[in-house]
Structure 1
Amino acid sequence: MRGRGRARTVALGVLPTIVGLVLLTLLAPPCAAAARSQPGGDGADRADAHPAGADLGPEEFESIPAYDVVLTIATNGDLHVRETITYDFDAGGAHGIVRRLPYRIGDRLYEIRGVRASSSTGAPARPRTRRWWHDLLISVGDEDRAVRGRQAYVIEYTVTGAFTPGDVHDELNWDALGGAWEVPIREAAVRVEAPVVLRKARCRAGTSAAGTPCLRDRDGPYAIEFTQSALRPRESMFITVRLPKGAITVPPPRHAPPHWAVTWAGAGLLALSLAGVAAAARGARAAPIGLEAGPGRSQAVPVERGALLAVLGGALVVADVADEVRAHGAWAVSIGDASMAGVGAAAVGSAVVCLHRFRMRITRRRPGEGNKVGR
């Protein structure tokens, strides 16, 4: 019974460690995805796979005939967005559309609030939001009612933290269409409105901010409209706006800890722990048989300490992971030196218990058989 109890104790200690490592594997930041979804990143090192404006070929079963966006810059630095999306569903219909908005790009955090939706064609337009990885998913529609044909949806929301402050100007880089649509966009227009004269504003269309320049039409000193035709799936329009320093109030950017925040100290501690485990295993196999045959207090105390160390190590991993999750949400996992220390402690504690059980199994055998195994 004591052996089973210790096994359960070790399992409770090791399980959180395994869960932490699995989360680390699943949540390692995908650089390519971050670069693709970055709203207006420079993208100079990426070439567009399909130039914007190229012939789309035959009419697709599903498409977006028109996509109109209005970006209104407020004096407090907020970005008010109004998107009018005309979506042409195929004959089978669907339950609505899903708009993906990045709320985290790399370690930069954006606050998206005030999400509203409506439909001028009478389609169900109740918005539902949920976070998935680094995106906020806005589902517009009704799960119990399918729509067909051409429908128009209006999505409105406000973004805080979209501007990046600089020494001489404040800059907005924004992926106006999202770059996640799996259907072609026939006609797209993005209108930028500012409380001051817009002198530096540009638009690039394609799969990155280094794509094709958009057509532009100035509507007075405070507004500019960009247009682009025949966008392929996953192509977008990247807007860059520079305003003079002090023209609006720009709050400092918010950042989340990186998913992988292990320093050389944490990695070295883990390596030393694993090296200690390997050395202990070799020593246990080479040690003479029979020294641990008596199950007295001297045998139980080290094993119990090993089980406790395994449990404490697993708890340290969970605490390190949960700290950022509690602060920034389920997808804000950050693996740091504390996790590495926890993994190392759990490994050493588990090794103590497992090596003890290994020695005990050998010493219970016949002396001749035990010596044969020991060699």
Structure 2
Amino acid sequence: MRGRVRGPAIGAGVLLVALLVVPAAADPAVRPRIPTYDVVLTLRADGILHVRETITFDFAGGGHGIVRRLRYRDGDRLYEVRDVRASSSTGAPARVRTTKLGHELRIGVGTRGPEVRGRQAYVIEYDVLRAFTPRAGFDELGWDAIGTGWDVPIEHAAVRVEAPVRLRDVRCRAGRPGASVGCAADRDGRYAIDFTQSGLAAGEGIRVRVRLPDRAVTAPPPAYARPHWAGTWLGTALLVLALGAAALAVRRPPHRRAGTGLAAAGVLLVVADAGNDVAARGPWAFSLGDPSLAGLALLTVGAGIVLAHRGRDA
């Protein structure tokens, strides 16, 4: 009799837990989200873009800070981000850690601090240099105000643009890149304009384009990095010839030391070529030009010789 009662009792308990827990987990109100995201873009007369982002993040069950992903390289275009700082009006840990990964600058705020729960407010500020692009008769700024790297929905976003001159041509688009809609706009005098957008899904952003009259700001020229692959036909030809030479070396390999020396020289050439760019602009600014291709050619031949000797020894 006891066994007959225990089975239904366990089943009823499991059903009760499912009824109480599963709906709570499915309730979007308890999932991480960004209730409000306010950005102020201040276009300074010296050509520097000052950005102030106020982010209200609801951690729901808990989390360790936020990470703002900011593209510092778009194609070959480079943006210089300086003076990154953060704070929290709700007392959440706000120590800043910046790392470059890929073409992104990742700004971690409170990521190594204690866990926080519920709704927290963060303020991130930074300056962007070389953000303007000189055009015929005007200077243009194109900027993704909130980024597309957030993996949580943003319920309400507001972007304010302030300039030292009258704003005549300002546009705002919201959504995913290539599939966006216009933002609601409200002018605040001649020198500022506010954009708003609600219901942004994860991965969606807000991009603002501003055109200022020529010489309205002292905009330094844009900075560009060399393409990651900058080899010419000469370097490519060397690499192709090296593949043929490696095939011949496998059949009749020279001394093993020759192979080791060629491989070492190849590595040094690649490191020297890419190292100049890395030292100047970070680990993801590397560019492989003809010296790198020549180094890969030497490395290919040297590795072929070494492998041929290993095969014969085996």
Give the TM bin, normalised by the shorter chain.
0.7 to 0.9
Q: Which amino acid aligns with 1:83?
A: E
Deviations 1:249-298 (A, max 9, x none): 1101111111111222111111111112223434x39xxxxxxxxxxxxx
Counterpart in 2 of 1:217?
186
1:254 aligns with 2:223: yes
Deviations 1:132-161 (A, max 9, x none): 111111111252411111111111111001
Q: Which amino acid aligns with 1:261?
A: A
**TM value normalised by structure 2:** 0.86
Q: In 2, are the aligned partners of 1:209 and 1:238 still within 8 Å (CA)?
A: no
1:325 aligns with 2:295: no
Unmatched segments (≥5 aa) in structure 1 = 1-56, 286-298, 363-375
Q: Distance in 2 between matches of 1:205 and 1:232?
A: 10
Structure 1 window deviating more from structure 2 (349-358 vs 251-260): it is 349-358
1:266 aligns with 2:235: yes
Larger radius of gyration: 1
Q: How many residues align?
A: 288
Distance 1:119 1:262, change over 3 A: same
Alignment of 1:54-133 (within 5 A): 58-59=28-29, 61-91=31-61, 93-133=62-102
Which residue of 153, 161, 166 corresponds with 1:197? 166
User: 1:165 aligns to what SS in structure 2?
Assistant: strand
Alignment of 1:1-375 (within 5 A): 58-59=28-29, 61-91=31-61, 93-141=62-110, 143-208=112-177, 210-282=179-251, 284=252, 303-355=256-308
User: 1:211 aligns to what SS in structure 2?
Assistant: strand
Structure 1 window deviating more from structure 2 (350-359 vs 59-68): it is 350-359
Q: Which amino acid aligns with 1:129?
A: T
Q: In 2, are the aligned partners of 1:100 and 1:136 still within 8 Å (CA)?
A: yes
Q: In 2, are the aligned partners of 1:217 and 1:224 still within 8 Å (CA)?
A: yes
Counterpart in 2 of 1:9?
none
Q: In 1, are the aligned partners of 2:33 and 2:57 still within 8 Å (CA)?
A: yes
Q: Distance in 2 between matches of 1:217 and 1:74?
A: 21
User: 2:196 aligns to what SS in structure 1?
Assistant: strand
User: 1:122 aligns to what SS in structure 2?
Assistant: coil
Unmatched segments (≥5 aa) in structure 2 = 1-26
Distance 1:242 1:60, change over 3 A: farther
Structure 1 window deviating more from structure 2 (80-89 vs 322-331): it is 322-331
Task: Kindly state the Cα deviation for residue 348 of structure 1 after the two structures are TM-superposed.
Answer: 2.3
Structure 1 window deviating more from structure 2 (347-356 vs 251-260): it is 347-356
Higher fraction of strand: 2
User: 2:242 aligns to what SS in structure 1?
Assistant: helix
Q: In 2, are the aligned partners of 1:204 and 1:210 still within 8 Å (CA)?
A: no
Output the aligned Cα RMSD: 2.1
Counterpart in 1 of 2:24?
none
Q: Distance in 2 between matches of 1:336 and 1:84?
A: 42
